[in-house]
C-alpha cells in the first residue's frame, strides 16, 4: 500500500513538472519572440538581434508559432532566399493554420523564379485574405515575370475593383496592359497610378513593406514613382505621344540626384 501511494505521488509530481515546465518554457519562448518582434520594426530595426531572439524562442519552445515565419521574413529582406524558403516551409509544417505563411512563401518562390509555386502560394493567400490588396498585387507581379500578361491584367483588375485608389495595383495593371499592346488602357491606369503615387507617404510605404528598413521609405517611394513614369514613357512612345514622352522624361529625371544610377534607365527609351 505504501509503495502504491509513493508511486502515485511520484507520478503526480512528474506530471506536474512536465505540465508547469512546459508552460514555463512556452512563456519564456513568448518573451523571446516578443523581443524579436521589437527589433524587427516593432520599436527598433536590428535584424541581427531579432534573429537571435527568434532563435532563442525556438530553442525554448520549438513549436513557437510564427517564429520560423519571422525568421523567413528576415532572410527574405537580407536576400538569403534559400534560407528563407527552409524557414517558411518549417513554419507551414508545424503550423499549417498560419495562412499568412503562404504570402511570404509566394514572395520567396517569386525571387527564386519558381513561378508556378509562387502562383499557387498567392492564390492560397488570396483565398484566405480576399480583402487585402497585397495578394492581388504580388500575384500580378508573378504573372508579369512569367510572361502571363492577360492573367496579370485580370488579377490586378480584380484587385482594383476592391482597391481602385491603389498605386501599386495600378502600376502592375498598366504594365500588363502595355505588354498586351493595349496602350490607351495602359496609359489610363498608369496616369491614375502616377497621380496617386504623389500621395504615398513614408508611413504608407512602411505599412506596405513592414519587413524593410524604415530608413528606405523615401527611396522606395521614388522607385514606385519611377517605375510608373518609365512604363508611362514607354506607353507614350508606342502611342506616338511625343509631348507625353518628353513630360515623363522630365519627371523621371527630376526624381533622382545627378549621380544616382537609377536616373540613367530612362535613357534606354530614346
109 CB contacts (<8 Å, ≥6 apart)?
85, 115, 117, 118, 121
**pLDDT score, position 212:** 93
Average pLDDT over residues 200-224: 94
CA-CA-CA-CA torsion sign (235, 238, 240, 246) = positive
Q: Rounded to an integer, what distance in angstroms lies between the CA atom of residue 132 and that of residue 147?
A: 24
**pLDDT score, position 263:** 85
Which range is least confidently modeled, 113-117, 207-211, 227-231? 207-211
Q: Rounded to an integer, what distance in angstroms lies between the CA atom of residue 111 and that of residue 109?
A: 5
What does pLDDT average to over the chain? 92
Q: Rounded to an integer, what distance in angstroms lies between the CA atom of residue 139 and that of residue 118?
A: 8
Query: Where do the H-state alpha helices sit in the chain?
Result: 2-39, 47-60, 67-77, 81-94, 100-111, 115-128, 133-145, 149-162, 167-179, 183-197, 202-208, 217-239, 242-254
Q: Rounded to an integer, what distance in angstroms lies between the CA atom of residue 57 and that of residue 67?
A: 7
Q: Which of 231, 41, 60, 242 is nearest to 149 (CA)?
A: 231
**pLDDT score, position 13:** 42
Q: Is 147 left (phi over 0), alpha (psi -120 to 50) or beta?
A: left
Q: Rounded to an integer, what distance in angstroms lies between the CA atom of residue 23 and that of residue 266?
A: 59
Q: What percent of the chain has pLDDT over 90?
A: 81
Per-residue model confidence as pLDDT tens digits over 161-196: 999 999 999 999 999 999 999 999 999 999 999 999
Q: Rounded to an integer, what distance in angstroms lies between the CA atom of residue 249 and that of residue 121?
A: 37
pTM here?
Answer: 0.89
Question: In which band, very low, low, confident or very high, does the pLDDT at 258 lie, cut at 50, 70 and 90?
Answer: confident
Per-residue model confidence as pLDDT tens digits over 5-60: 544 444 444 444 445 556 677 888 898 999 999 999 898 999 999 999 999 999 98
C-alpha 60 chain-centroid distance = 28
Q: Rounded to an integer, what distance in angstroms lies between the CA atom of residue 160 and that of residue 80?
A: 32
Q: Are 106 and 125 in contact (CB under 8 A)?
A: yes
Amino acid at each position: 500500500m505504501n509503495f502504491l501511494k509513493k508511486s502515485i505521488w511520484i507520478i503526480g509530481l512528474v506530471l506536474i513538472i512536465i505540465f508547469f515546465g512546459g508552460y514555463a518554457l512556452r512563456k519564456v519562448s513568448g518573451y523571446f519572440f516578443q523581443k524579436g518582434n521589437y527589433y524587427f520594426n516593432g520599436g527598433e530595426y536590428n535584424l541581427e538581434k531579432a534573429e537571435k531572439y527568434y532563435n532563442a524562442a525556438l530553442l525554448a519552445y520549438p513549436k513557437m508559432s510564427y517564429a520560423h515565419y519571422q525568421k523567413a521574413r528576415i532572410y527574405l529582406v537580407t536576400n538569403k532566399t534559400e534560407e528563407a524558403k527552409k524557414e517558411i516551409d518549417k513554419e507551414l509544417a508545424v503550423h499549417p493554420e498560419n495562412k499568412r505563411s503562404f504570402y511570404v512563401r509566394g514572395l520567396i518562390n517569386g525571387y527564386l523564379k519558381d513561378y508556378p509555386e509562387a502562383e499557387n502560394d498567392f492564390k492560397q493567400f488570396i483565398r484566405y485574405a480576399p480583402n487585402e490588396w497585397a495578394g492581388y498585387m504580388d500575384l500580378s507581379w508573378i504573372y508579369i515575370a512569367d510572361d502571363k500578361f492577360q492573367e496579370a491584367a485580370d488579377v490586378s483588375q480584380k484587385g482594383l475593383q476592391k482597391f481602385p485608389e491603389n498605386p501599386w495595383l495600378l502600376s502592375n495593371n498598366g504594365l500588363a496592359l502595355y505588354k498586351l499592346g493595349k496602350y490607351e488602357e495602359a496609359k489610363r491606369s498608369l496616369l491614375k497610378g502616377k497621380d496617386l503615387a504623389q500621395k504615398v507617404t513614408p508611413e504608407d510605404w512602411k505599412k506596405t513593406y513592414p519587413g524593410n528598413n524604415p530608413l528606405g521609405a523615401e527611396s522606395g517611394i521614388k522607385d514606385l514613382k519611377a517605375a510608373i513614369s518609365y512604363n508611362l514613357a514607354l506607353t507614350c512612345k508606342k502611342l506616338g505621344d511625343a509631348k507625353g514622352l518628353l513630360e515623363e522624361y522630365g519627371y523621371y529625371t527630376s526624381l533622382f540626384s545627378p549621380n544616382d544610377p537609377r536616373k540613367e534607365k530612362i535613357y534606354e527609351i530614346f
